[in-house]
């Protein structure tokens, strides 16, 4: 058996197309375009690439994208002042502060300073709380993108066994919440989990978000499982420099029912959901 390859790039393009239609309608109704402000502190090369992609996608969707690039030495006070300015700016519907921030800046304090109603990343504690209690709010883009892919592949997820590997606030925890909301039986595994292979083998759905190249092996998987690989790891070996996921892809292909590739799986969905969240924020703010 060879797994179905889940084409996140194509699915994301469809979603972006729908968002672009929504943006055109919003412009028609309100006379303005939704605005997304992206803040990058420092020059981390991976963050720089992500921010450029986000900027391009924002413009392609017909939104107004503004980029705020600050030096790595920027003080926390200066960053908080920029966030306050963006909170107060009527043309800005969504604010995204690219993580990770330099070590001298308290990321939690910066995220806490973002107006929760402009927090299109869904990182603010108010939005985490809204997700936890099932209230409307902004859901982190990567896990929401994963949930949309899973529903596209599997339809109704009710009753399925899901394992989320990784317990970060950005991916693992909200992912588990979204799967619970879709009636999955959810296990969250992490670095202290005993016999991870046995835990993974029970799962109909595996979401890998650990950031360790090819850690999840093909023979850990239940035959036919749906595998969502959130990892984007840069490796250099005999095959040259390349990106690999958290799952040993070639091994998994022979066992899984469906799997996301890296790149071209989850990554494009994150940006598409960011645009969707920004359009939702614009509508909410327009009343
Ligand atoms: N760094 C890696 N992924 C993300 C993301 O989705 N949002 C932000 N703000 N920073 C990130």
* pLDDT, tens only, 105-150: 999 999 999 999 999 999 999 999 999 999 999 999 999 999 999 9
Distance 141 CA to ligand 1 centre (A): 9
ipTM of the complex: 0.96
Look at residue 42 in the predicted model and tell me its pLDDT: 97
pLDDT tens for each residue of 251-279: 999 999 999 999 999 999 999 999 999 99
Residue 233, helix vs strand vs coil? strand
Say which residues have a Cβ less than 8 Å from residue 192's Cβ, sequence separation at least 6.
Answer: none
- Which of 99, 102, 232 has most ligand 1 atoms within 8 Å of CB, for mutation? 99
Quick one: which atom of ligand 1 is closest to the CA of 142?
A: 6
Residues 40-57: what's their mean pLDDT?
A: 95
By alpha-carbon position, which residue is closest to atom 3 of ligand 1? 99
Question: In the predicted model, what is the mean pLDDT of residues 154-180?
Answer: 98
- What is the position in ligand 1's atom list of the atom closest to the CA of 121? 7
Residue 239 has pLDDT above 90, yes or no: no
Q: Give the DSSP letter string of 113-139.
A: HS-GGG-TT--SHHHHHHHHHT-S-PP
Give, to the nearest 10 degrees, the angle between helix 141-154 and helix 266-286.
110
Given this model, what pLDDT does residue 201 score?
98
Which residues are part of the catalytic machinery? Answer: 54, 98, 121
pLDDT value for 198: 98
pLDDT classification of 287: cutoffs 50, 70, 90: confident
State yes or no: 27 annotated in a binding site. no
Could you tell me if 147 and 175 are in contact, meaning their C-beta atoms sit under 8 angstroms apart? yes
Q: 228 C-alpha vs ligand 1 centroid, how far in Å?
A: 18
Whether residue 98 is predicted with pLDDT greater than 80 in this model: the reply is yes
User: Domains plus CATH for the chain?
Assistant: 31-118 (3.40.50.10860), 141-267 (3.40.50.720)
Question: Would you state the pLDDT for residue 132?
Answer: 97
Q: Which atom of ligand 1 is nearest to the CA of 47?
A: 1
Contacts of 7 (CB under 8 A, 6+ apart): 264
Residues with CB under 6 A from ligand 1: 96-99, 121, 141-142, 270
Flag whether pLDDT at 1 surpasses 90.
Answer: no
pLDDT tens for each residue of 181-207: 999 999 999 999 999 999 999 999 999
Model confidence pLDDT, tens digit, residues 58-74: 999 999 999 999 999 99
Residue 163 CA, ligand 1 centroid: distance in Å: 22
Flag whether 166 is marked binding: yes
Q: Can you list the alpha helix ranges (DSSP code H) found in 89-188? A: 107-113, 125-133, 141-154, 172-181
192 alpha carbon – ligand 1 mean position (Å):
25
Determine the residue of 38, 96, 110, 271 to mutate for testing ligand 1's pocket, defined as the one with the most ligand atoms within 8 A of the Cβ atom. 96
């Amino acid at each position: 058996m060879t797994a179905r390859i889940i084409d996140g790039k194509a699915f994301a393009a469809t979603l972006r197309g729908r968002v672009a239609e929504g943006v055109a309608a919003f412009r028609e109704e309100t006379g303005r375009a939704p605005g997304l402000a992206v803040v990058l502190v420092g020059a981390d090369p991976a963050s720089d690439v992500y921010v450029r992609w986000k900027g391009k996608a924002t413009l392609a969707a017909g939104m107004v994208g503004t980029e705020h690039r600050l030096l790595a030495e920027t003080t926390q006070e200066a960053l908080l002042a920029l966030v306050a300015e963006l909170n107060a700016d009527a043309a800005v519907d969504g604010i995204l502060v690219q993580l990770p921030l330099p070590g001298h800046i308290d990321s939690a304090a910066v995220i806490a300073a973002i107006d929760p109603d402009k927090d299109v990343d869904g990182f603010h504690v108010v939005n985490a709380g809204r997700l936890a209690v099932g209230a409307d709010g902004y859901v982190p883009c990567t896990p929401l993108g994963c949930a949309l892919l899973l529903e596209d592949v599997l339809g109704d997820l009710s009753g399925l066994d899901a394992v989320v590997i990784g317990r970060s606030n950005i991916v693992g925890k909200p992912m588990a919440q979204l799967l619970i909301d879709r009636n999955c039986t959810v296990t969250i595994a992490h670095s202290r989990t005993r016999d991870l292979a046995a835990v993974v083998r029970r799962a109909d759905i595996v979401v890998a978000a650990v950031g360790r190249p090819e850690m999840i092996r093909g023979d850990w998987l239940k035959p036919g499982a749906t595998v969502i690989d959130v990892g984007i790891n840069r490796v250099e070996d005999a095959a040259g420099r390349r990106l690999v996921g958290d799952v040993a892809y070639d091994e998994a292909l022979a066992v899984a029912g469906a799997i996301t590739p890296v790149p071209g799986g989850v990554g494009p969905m994150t940006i598409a959901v960011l645009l969707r969240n920004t359009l939702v924020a614009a509508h909410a703010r327009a009343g």
